[in-house]
Amino acid sequence: MEMEKYVKNILNDIKLRGMDAVSEYSVKFDGYGTPFRVPESEIVEAKNLIPEYQKSIIEKTYRRIYENHSIQYSNDKMRFFRGSIYGIRYTPIERIGMYIPGKKPLPSTVMMIGIPAKIAGVKDIVITSAPESNGKVNPYTLYIADILGIREVYRLGGIQAIGSMAYGIGMKRVDKIFGPGNSYVNEAKRQVYGVTGIDGLYGPSEVLVISDGTGNNEYIMADLNSQLEHGITSKAWLLTTGKVPSTGENGRIEVMAFKNMDELISKANEIAPEHMEIQASNPMEIFSRIKNAGAIYIGEYAPVPAGDYFLGVNHLLPTGGTSRFSSALTVDEFMKKTSFASVSREDFMKDRELGMELAKIEGMPLHYKSMEVRS
């Protein structure tokens, strides 16, 4: 409750005092005030700060992520019936904001949000990212912004970045905010939801490995430990029907032993982790029975870190058990779905009694009249 009130007070102050408040909080939290907008020349020149070999790596990774996300693009869907057309139209969101945690390079996150946005056809993309100690946005963030054709980047982090994007302080307001952040950023996103859209609320990183004892324990332990590298609140589970391997000195890995795979799968679905690996002799059979996971990595050559970086699957995933009802970031998250109907007289007149009777049942006489008056 204290955090909720703390964030609310800052957001209210930003709404009330605008750029003065944004500047004060930026100086307080990030040591940097106005100007916030990064000059276009600085975005374009960022490539000169990146080693050639790393630029090649980033460009190859970009292509892999693009190829794997391009299959997600949804076309309009239509049904033709009695001279009528019914369907769903997909339209890209006009303007989105990307929140990229600052002060360290996160090129993978910029690509994971920016690439599906471009595939969806989003016209305007804004990036906010807290500056480094030199007062500049990380050059890797700027380099990928340049590749994506993004020219609107701001030296802004934290609650003040979320407030600026949501309320249109110092920039045109955005229609939806994407990106991970700390608990304060998460709370700010939660509070501005309704004023603007959000992609989700991302908590500490999680990994769950399913094992039947036939997998390579060295690989399994490396994968479990990799996600704990994100921070002290990250979680790692090993669920196994085989011999319980040693976790060494890492007491943060929770190991659960099961008599059979049915019980194990039931528990895995109950936990509903962000990342899941299946290291077993029959991985596809187990995969077919998993209902709840943000992303599933099958076999010993699909470690979670590879998914985080180069496999091309998105790494913005539901955490904290929310994969029970939410999904990985996809191209669809950057699009709106609009139902439409173009109805022939024949179709309407043949079945209008359905609507008229329902209007009577619900006590809506003007709804009834709207359908009755047509001839």
In whole angstroms, give the CA distance from residue 13 to residue 7. 10
Query: Could you confirm whether 274 is annotated as catalytic?
Result: yes
Distances (CA, A) of 295 to 272, 309, 319, 372: 10, 13, 11, 51
φ and ψ at 5, to 5 degrees? -70, -40
The C-alpha R_g of the chain, in whole angstroms, comes to 25
Residue tagged active-site, from 132, 206, 274, 333: 274
Query: Could you confirm whether 367 is annotated as catalytic?
Result: no
Nearest CA to 101 among 171, 189, 16? 189
Place of tokens 């709207």: 370
Distances (CA, A) of 212 to 90, 133, 277: 43, 48, 12
Residue tagged active-site, from 275, 277, 315, 333: 275
Residue 180 gets the label, from left (phi > 0), alpha (psi -120 to 50) or beta, of: beta
In whole angstroms, give the CA distance from residue 246 to residue 237. 13
Query: What are 312's two structure tokens?
Result: 């091309």
Q: Are 137 and 26 in contact (CB under 8 A)?
A: no
Angle between the 158-167 and 19-30 helix axes, to the nearest 10 degrees?
160
In whole angstroms, give the CA distance from residue 62 to residue 147. 9
Nearest CA to 330 among 125, 147, 117? 117
Angle between the 139-148 and 52-70 helix axes, to the nearest 10 degrees?
50
Q: Residues with catalytic annotation?
A: 274-275
